[in-house]
Amino acid sequence: MLVRQNVLIIVFFGMVLSGFIYLNNIQCICNQQIIEQGLKCNQQITEQGIIKPKWKPKIIELRSSPGLLYNKPSVVAGRTDVASVSPWSAPIIWEGTFDSTLIDSIYKQQHLTIATTVFALGKYTRFVKDFLESAEQHYFVGFRVHYYLFTDQPESIPKVKIGENRSLTIEKVPTMNRWQDISMNRMEKLEKLIENELFNEADYIFCLDIDGKFYGRWGAETLGRLVGVLHPWLFNVPRNQFTYERRPESKAYIPVEEGDYYYAGAAFGGFLEDVHLLTKTCREHLKIDAANSIEAVWQEESHLNKYFLLNKPSKLLSPEYMWRDVNEKSALIKIVRYTNVPKNYAEVRPNP
């Protein structure tokens, strides 16, 4: 009798286990069908069911090449006229704070790819040639660079010779009637570009304005997890003079007594996943503001500054990397690396 009971118990649990296995197989088949129908092989589903890009693995090691010769570092000499570190210990990059020979030795052996985005809509296509030609001379020389140019006039983009291991992709976007709308829509375009094309292709991304020109090195010293650039007009003024969004109704609101630095919307970058979160957050906040009939004073730049206030950049670039005019001088600026091109805004913008 006891043997029969044991047999029945074993059979019962065997049936239950078979049922679980069957249900699990059905679930796996359904999940596979979902993947085949709608998901790309480069994405994964988290336990919460959220689809996320599978970011390119990071192997960032600060290895120097054997036998490399460079100037001896000093702990007592260097730039004394500017701050070279933020209050949260992020480096601030100025001429005289890094050794380009050592930096290049460390990063070139990692075979990095740097995605770089620019927008050239309307009359701003006139700046493409100078931007690309100067970038080919000074921007991440010796690295793989992939430029992504967003424009509403692909036929107006001039032919520019791009060097070895460097490429240009032109993405067509709709024409917009307000420069403010162009500005505000950039975050969404960047977010989608990272999600759909870059997530497993590049190591870093920099988002730059097209109406600029390179005059000096912009290299591996700028690489970091999340990188902001100090605004050339506001890098040396009190925080109460920063042109933050001051209306509490806006998601970009920063009170007068708060703020670290004022960052330029014309240049920012970092790891893909970090810039993706930045662009996604700014896009969401821009949308909330729009639903409440609010437009931040400097559109996406205002939201960028709010993001950097709450999510500190891991590296800051001095105004050498986003200067206002190559002909303007400042005792603190030893070299102009990238600068705004003087222009008549009333003539190149579609609206005041």
146 is in an annotated binding site: no
**339-347 average pLDDT score:** 82
Better-predicted residue by pLDDT, 190 or 179: 190
What lies within 8 Å, CB to CB, of 148 at 6+ separation is 115, 116, 117, 118, 169, 171, 193
26 is in an annotated binding site: no
Better-predicted residue by pLDDT, 174 or 230: 230
263 is in an annotated binding site: no
151 is in an annotated binding site: no
- Tens-place pLDDT, residues 9-42: 444 444 444 444 444 444 444 444 433 343 343 4
Could you write out the DSSP letters of every residue in 31-56? HHHHHHHH--TTEEE-TTS-EEE-PP
The class of domain 92-346 in CATH terms is alpha beta
- Tens-place pLDDT, residues 230-253: 999 999 999 999 999 999 999 999
152 is in an annotated binding site: no
Could you write out the DSSP letters of every residue in 134-170? HHHHHBSTTSEEEEEEEES-GGGPPP----TTEEEEE
**306-323 average pLDDT score:** 98
**Residue 263, pLDDT above cutoff 90:** yes
Active site residue 284: no
- Tens-place pLDDT, residues 152-162: 999 999 999 99
pLDDT of residue 182: 64
For a pLDDT cut of 70, what percent of the chain falls above it? 82
211 is in an annotated binding site: yes
What is the maximal distance between C-alpha atoms in the chain? 101
Taking phi over 0 as left and psi of -120 to 50 as alpha, with beta for the rest, 270 belongs to left
**Residue 284, pLDDT above cutoff 80:** yes
**304-315 average pLDDT score:** 98
Residue with tokens 């679980």: 20
Residue 144: phi, psi to the nearest 5? -75, 125
Q: Write out the two tokens for 196.
A: 């759909």
* pTM of the predicted protein model: 0.83
Long-range contacts (CB closer than 8 Å, 24 or more residues apart) made by 253-260: 253/306, 254/305, 254/306, 254/309, 258/309, 259/305, 259/309, 260/86, 260/87, 260/308, 260/309, 260/312
What lies within 8 Å, CB to CB, of 210 at 6+ separation is 118, 119, 120, 124, 127, 128, 131, 149
Better-predicted residue by pLDDT, 219 or 50: 219
- Tens-place pLDDT, residues 63-103: 888 899 999 999 888 899 999 999 999 999 999 999 999 99
Least confident of 36-45, 114-123, 266-275, 279-288: 36-45
231 is in an annotated binding site: yes
Cβ-contact 227, 322 below 8 angstroms = no
pLDDT of residue 352: 58
Q: Which helix (H) or strand (E) holds 224?
A: none
Q: Write out the two tokens for 118.
A: 């620019």
- The overall average pLDDT reported for the chain is 86
Cα–chain-centroid distance for residue 324?
A: 21
C-alpha span between 26 and 20 (Å, rounded) = 10
Domain boundaries, the chain: 92-346
C-alpha span between 295 and 286 (Å, rounded) = 8
C-alpha span between 10 and 269 (Å, rounded) = 61
Residue 306, class by beta-carbon neighbours within 10 Å (0-12 exposed, 13-18 middle, 19+ buried)? buried
C-alpha span between 226 and 231 (Å, rounded) = 16
C-alpha span between 342 and 350 (Å, rounded) = 17
C-alpha span between 254 and 193 (Å, rounded) = 29
C-alpha span between 215 and 201 (Å, rounded) = 28
Of 301, 320, 328, 347, which one is the catalytic site residue? Answer: 301
**120-134 average pLDDT score:** 95
C-alpha span between 213 and 204 (Å, rounded) = 21
pLDDT of residue 52: 64
Residue with tokens 């091109």: 341
